[in-house]
């Protein structure tokens, strides 16, 4: 039995003291009445003592019962598991708890803990109210996204209904805030699927009822419109089954206990993801990175200065911090700052950048106050120049030989091809000889003779690109027809249109870097100087390049007539998702008959930067946002957190599937170590926190109700359809403690009215007994004073 008004109940029960007090007060001394006929009083007392005592006790008991009955009635007792059909039968309930353990749940709570602690307490009380003995079962779905399928569910969840409520309770207790955004819609879809399955299995037909309890703060991070998009499926699926589904949800007023505004690191982008550290002695290197800040919440009209720091970490340990500060003006939600993390000592092992903001300036979600980004350390980059050997001309550089230009641009001060001390070592490959083993030894492949590549060569090149290689394709200077275009786009999975025939430009066109479309930021570091260097460059002939509408990729360089001079994009994979590598296709070769670019100073920074940044970007997929299933570095079979949780506990390692993706979404931000079969680190996956998920902008009760109503359909349109949950022991108006709310959701027998009737009956009984025991009725019968007196006379 549960009481809906426990406060009134306790007050009422305390009121039982009133009749007792009256009873005792009646015994209190009063002014004595002088009396002569004491002998008759004593005689009467001797005769009546026992009966009077009994009468008094009976009267006191009835009065106490009366007060207790009123108190119980006002306490609105309900007995669970009772229904009209089976007044004393037990109807099992399946309780599905969707608990928000996303990044938003790490927000500090007014009581000193986290919002998740509050969710946990509510979940545990809900679980504690279940009765496994009558067949109650529980389902636990942590809301950290993504929850696209059952396999996405974290190990801390339990999608299949289980009667082991205690085990579910332990899972709840083990939850820690993740760094991922909540996926409310995905969770509801999973639950709807589960309810549908249960129905199909005939479990619901025997009277099982479902109660879905959503324990999440009403903030946008947890309740974004996108996250609730698929909640309708719950209603759709449940409606067909006839299964009764009752929805409980955290009262939106509870989120008022947490912060309203959050500042976090929206992104940490190394400007050069690959650090080429050289072969010789240690050289002073620094690792620049751009830190983007984001601010969200309901009070953005204040100016805020944020301290930011950045450091470089590798096997030698963390380097010194570089600090800067950014200022968010009133109304601004984003700011970014570029820091240069000093690298001391000789870089080695796995390296990453770590950024933090001063946590004292952010009272919001702590999960996004830090971020990591991976760095790739290379002593030397190796480039393969895939070109047909030209007929050697004596007397220096052949202006029509792109390979020669390229070799020069790659290593302007090198001793020659294969120089072990050069940053970028280049080798030349005959197009016909291109195969996977040869490509596996290089970081970047410059295809200068695409026409000479065989289909197997293209296939090998495609695999190379998808596996993280950088492929740069130039047309052949000797041919106006690019017959290889279809083969290239097919092998590399690029929805581009290349060629087929070169176009002459008279007068020659200028060349510039595309500012807006350079989404990958390949040339960001040399952006400033490249603009000036490219200005004198003229292009006399180019191959038409185009991107199919809606396809990925963008223009890297643009001709002065607006046509792209170079396209860049991620290669497609067999399964359709983006590969790890990078492909760029140029509209003109490095040949004097097409353009004067090779002879201009721009060629060296352009080629150097393309190679260095491109190799880094080609490996960029090793960086991910919490909740992603990132591509693991090659050779990795397992991903393991490279840090320990401050609050203790552990994060389980995640396997790598056949596609090289992590087997489960990585929901905790930080550097994940990629380990090979013998647990040797082979790479790093840096997982950044979800900045969107940390949005603490309030969603009020009305909005939440309408979001639930919109998501779940008409049956939630009425006020009574959602039961708002208060924290255990809370006193929010219109909300109920979890245990009480669960009781409310059940067919129950309210005893309030019955108890009121009982109280009425007791009141009547009390009145009769009080009159009877007070002997007041003797006034009207034969023993009236006059009569008695006459008799006595």
Partner 1 sequence: MADTPTTPTIPQRVDPTLYLHPATLARLGSLELRAKMIVEGVMSGAHRSPYQGQSVEFAQHRPYVAGDDLRHLDWKVYGRSDKLYLKQYQQETNLDLVVLVDASGSMAYGSRPFSDAAASGQALGPSGQSNWRKIDHATALAAALSYITLRQGDRVGLSTFAQGILSGAGGGVERSSSQGTWRRIVAALAQAPVQAQADFPRVFDQALGKLTNKCLLVVISDFFTDPAPLEGIWARAKYRGHDAIAFQVLDRAEIDFAFKDPAPFEGLEGEGRLRIDPRALRPAYIEALAEHTKAVERGLRRVGFDFHRLSTHDWLGPPLAAFVARRENLLKRSKMG
Does 25 interact with partner 1 (rule: CB under 8 A)? no
| Strand (E) or helix (H) holding 409 | helix 402-410
Angle between the N-to-C axes of helices 184-200 and 232-241, in degrees from 0 to 180, rounded to the nearest 10: 10
When the beta carbons of 160 and 778 are compared against partner 1, the nearer one is: 778
Shortest distance, CB of residue 37 to partner 1, whole angstroms? 5
Hey, which residues between 580 and 639 contact partner 1 (CB under 8 A)? none
Shortest distance, CB of residue 54 to partner 1, whole angstroms? 11
Of 84, 317, 550, 785, the residue at the interface with partner 1 (CB under 8 A) is: 785
Does 786 interact with partner 1 (rule: CB under 8 A)? yes
The DSSP bridge pattern shows strands 261-270 and 351-357 to be: unpaired
C-alpha Rg value of the chain to the nearest Å: 39
When the beta carbons of 85 and 791 are compared against partner 1, the nearer one is: 791
Contact 655, 649 (CB under 8 A): no
When the beta carbons of 658 and 789 are compared against partner 1, the nearer one is: 789
Shortest distance, CB of residue 29 to partner 1, whole angstroms? 7
Cis peptide preceding 532, ω within 30 of 0: no
When the beta carbons of 36 and 658 are compared against partner 1, the nearer one is: 36
When the beta carbons of 56 and 701 are compared against partner 1, the nearer one is: 56
Q: Which stretch binds partner 1 (CB under 8 A): 6-14, 33-41, 295-303, 548-556?
A: 33-41
Shortest distance, CB of residue 772 to partner 1, whole angstroms? 10
Shortest distance, CB of residue 26 to partner 1, whole angstroms? 6
Q: Which stretch binds partner 1 (CB under 8 A): 21-29, 144-152, 298-306, 366-374?
A: 21-29
Shortest distance, CB of residue 23 to partner 1, whole angstroms? 11
Tell which residue, 735, 597, 608, 613, has the closest CA to residue 274.
613
Hey, which residues between 38 and 77 contact partner 1 (CB under 8 A)? 38-45, 47-48, 52, 55
When the beta carbons of 58 and 760 are compared against partner 1, the nearer one is: 58
When the beta carbons of 25 and 392 are compared against partner 1, the nearer one is: 25
Of 206, 281, 413, 791, the residue at the interface with partner 1 (CB under 8 A) is: 791
Shortest distance, CB of residue 56 to partner 1, whole angstroms? 8
CB-side neighbour CA atoms (13 Å) of 455 = 2
Shortest distance, CB of residue 28 to partner 1, whole angstroms? 10
When the beta carbons of 22 and 110 are compared against partner 1, the nearer one is: 22
When the beta carbons of 441 and 790 are compared against partner 1, the nearer one is: 790
Provide the H-helix boundaries in 522-623: 527-534, 603-618
Shortest distance, CB of residue 761 to partner 1, whole angstroms? 25
When the beta carbons of 63 and 311 are compared against partner 1, the nearer one is: 63
Q: Which stretch binds partner 1 (CB under 8 A): 32-40, 171-179, 332-340, 351-359?
A: 32-40
Query: Rounded to whole angstroms, what are the CA distances from 434 to 178, 437, 470, 490, 779?
Result: 45, 9, 15, 17, 124
Phi then psi dihedrals of residue 657, to 5 deg? -90, -175
Q: How many residues does the chain have?
A: 793
Angle between the N-to-C axes of helices 115-128 and 165-174, in degrees from 0 to 180, rounded to the nearest 10: 170
Shortest distance, CB of residue 44 to partner 1, whole angstroms? 3
Distance CA 569, CA 520 (A): 8
Shortest distance, CB of residue 63 to partner 1, whole angstroms? 16
Q: How many CB atoms lie within 10 A of CB 626?
A: 26
Q: Which stretch binds partner 1 (CB under 8 A): 27-35, 112-120, 337-345, 638-646?
A: 27-35
When the beta carbons of 391 and 792 are compared against partner 1, the nearer one is: 792
Does 21 interact with partner 1 (rule: CB under 8 A)? no
When the beta carbons of 37 and 646 are compared against partner 1, the nearer one is: 37
Shortest distance, CB of residue 19 to partner 1, whole angstroms? 16
When the beta carbons of 42 and 225 are compared against partner 1, the nearer one is: 42
Distance CA 610, CA 565 (A): 14
When the beta carbons of 53 and 111 are compared against partner 1, the nearer one is: 53
Phi then psi dihedrals of residue 239, to 5 deg? -60, -40
Q: Which residues contact 227 (CB under 8 A, 6 or more apart)?
A: 145, 181, 182, 183, 184, 185, 186
DSSP string, 730-762: ---TT-B-HHHHHHHTS--EE-HHHHHHHHHHH
Distance CA 310, CA 296 (A): 22
| Strand (E) or helix (H) holding 497 | strand 496-498
Tell which residue, 510, 499, 502, 503, has the closest CA to residue 539.
510
- Give the total of residues touching partner 1 (CB under 8 A): 36
Q: Which residues contact 525 (CB under 8 A, 6 or more apart)?
A: 271, 272, 288, 609, 613
Instruction: Tell the residue number behind the tokens 């998009």, with chain if given.
Output: 229
Shortest distance, CB of residue 778 to partner 1, whole angstroms? 6
Q: Is 450 helix (H, G, I), strand (E, B) or coil?
A: helix
Strand partners, 501: 481
Strand partners, 497: 546
Hey, which residues between 753 and 782 contact partner 1 (CB under 8 A)? 773-776, 778
Strand partners, 582: 470
- ∠ CA 96-99-105, nearest 5°, is 175
Does 201 interact with partner 1 (rule: CB under 8 A)? no
Shortest distance, CB of residue 751 to partner 1, whole angstroms? 36
Distance CA 462, CA 471 (A): 9
Q: Which stretch binds partner 1 (CB under 8 A): 36-44, 241-249, 440-448, 727-735?
A: 36-44
Which stretches of the chain bind partner 1, using CB under 8 A?
26-27, 29-45, 47-48, 52, 55, 773-776, 778, 783, 785-786, 788-789, 791-793
């Amino acid at each position: 039995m549960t009481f809906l008004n426990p406060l009134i109940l306790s007050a009422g029960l305390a009121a039982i003291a009133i009749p007792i007090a009256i009873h005792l007060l009646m015994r209190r001394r009063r002014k004595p009445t002088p009396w002569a006929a004491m002998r008759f009083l004593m005689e009467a007392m001797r005769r009546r003592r026992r009966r009077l005592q009994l009468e008094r006790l009976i009267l006191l008991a009835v009065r106490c019962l009366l007060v207790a009955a009123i108190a119980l009635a006002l306490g609105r007792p309900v007995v669970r598991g009772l229904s009209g059909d089976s007044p004393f039968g037990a109807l099992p309930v399946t309780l599905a708890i969707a608990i928000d353990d996303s990044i938003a749940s790490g927000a500090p709570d007014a009581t000193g803990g986290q919002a998740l602690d509050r969710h946990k307490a509510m979940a545990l009380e809900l679980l504690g109210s279940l009765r496994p003995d009558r067949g109650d079962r529980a389902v636990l779905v942590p809301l950290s996204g993504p929850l696209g399928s059952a396999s996405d569910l974290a190990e801390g969840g339990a999608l299949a209904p289980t009667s082991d409520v205690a085990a579910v309770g332990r899972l709840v207790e083990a939850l820690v805030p993740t760094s991922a955004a909540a996926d409310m819609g995905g969770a509801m879809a999973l639950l709807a699927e589960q309810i549908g399955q249960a129905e199909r299995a005939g479990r619901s037909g025997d009277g099982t009822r479902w109660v879905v309890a959503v324990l999440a703060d009403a903030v946008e991070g947890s309740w974004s419109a996108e996250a609730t998009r698929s909640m309708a499926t719950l209603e759709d699926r449940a409606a067909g089954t006839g299964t009764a589904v009752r929805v409980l949800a955290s009262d939106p007023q509870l989120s008022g206990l947490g912060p309203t505004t959050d500042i976090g690191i929206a992104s940490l982008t190394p400007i050069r993801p690959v650090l080429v550290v050289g072969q010789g002695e240690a050289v002073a290197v620094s690792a620049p990175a751009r830190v983007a800040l984001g601010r969200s919440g309901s009070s953005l009209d204040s100016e805020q200065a944020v301290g930011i720091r950045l450091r470089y970490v590798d096997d030698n340990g963390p380097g010194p911090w570089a600090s800067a500060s950014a200022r968010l003006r009133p109304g601004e939600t984003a700011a970014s700052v570029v820091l240069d993390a000093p690298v001391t000592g000789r870089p080695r092992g796995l390296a990453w950048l770590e950024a933090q903001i001063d946590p004292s300036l952010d009272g919001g979600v702590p999960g996004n106050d830090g971020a990591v980004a991976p760095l790739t350390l290379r002593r030397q980059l190796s480039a393969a120049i895939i070109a047909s050997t030209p007929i050697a001309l004596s007397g220096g550089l052949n202006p029509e030989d792109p390979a020669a230009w390229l070799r020069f641009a790659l290593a302007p001060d090198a001793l020659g091809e294969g120089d072990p001390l050069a940053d970028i070592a280049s080798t030349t490959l005959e197009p016909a000889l291109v195969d996977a083993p040869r490509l596996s030894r290089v970081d970047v492949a410059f295809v200068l003779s695409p026409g000479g590549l065989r289909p197997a060569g293209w296939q090998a090149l495609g695999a190379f690109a998808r596996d993280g290689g950088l492929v740069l394709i130039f047309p052949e200077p000797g041919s106006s027809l690019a017959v290889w275009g279809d083969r290239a786009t097919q092998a590399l999975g690029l929805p581009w249109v290349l060629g087929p025939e070169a176009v002459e430009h008279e007068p020659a066109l200028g060349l510039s870097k595309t500012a807006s479309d350079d989404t990958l930021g390949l040339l960001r570091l040399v952006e400033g100087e490249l603009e000036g260097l490219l200005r004198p460059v003229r292009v006399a002939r180019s191959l038409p390049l185009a991107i199919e509408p809606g396809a990925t990729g963008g223009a890297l360089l643009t001709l002065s007539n607006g046509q792209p001079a170079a396209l860049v994009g991620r290669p497609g994979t067999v399964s359709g998702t983006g590969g790890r590598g990078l492909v760029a296709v140029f509209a003109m070769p490095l040949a004097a008959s097409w353009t004067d670019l090779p002879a201009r100073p721009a060629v060296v920074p352009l080629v150097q930067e393309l190679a260095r940044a491109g190799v880094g970007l080609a490996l960029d997929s090793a960086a991910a946002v919490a909740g992603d299933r990132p591509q693991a570095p090659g050779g990795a079979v397992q991903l393991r957190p490279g840090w320990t949780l401050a609050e203790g506990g552990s994060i389980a390692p995640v396997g790598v599937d056949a596609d090289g993706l992590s087997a489960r979404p990585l929901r905790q931000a930080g550097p994940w170590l990629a380990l090979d079969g013998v647990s040797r680190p082979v790479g790093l996956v840096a997982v950044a926190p979800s900045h969107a998920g940390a949005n603490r902008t309030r969603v009020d009760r009305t909005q939440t109700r309408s979001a639930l109503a919109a998501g779940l359909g008409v049956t939630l349109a009425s006020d009574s359809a959602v039961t708002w949950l208060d924290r255990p022991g809370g006193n929010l108006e219109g909300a109920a403690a979890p245990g009480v709310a669960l009781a409310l959701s059940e067919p129950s027998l309210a005893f309030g009215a019955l108890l009121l009737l009982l109280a009425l009956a007791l009141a009547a009984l009390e009145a009769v007994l009080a009159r009877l025991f007070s002997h007041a009725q003797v006034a009207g019968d034969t023993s009236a004073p006059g009569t008695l007196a006459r008799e006595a006379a």
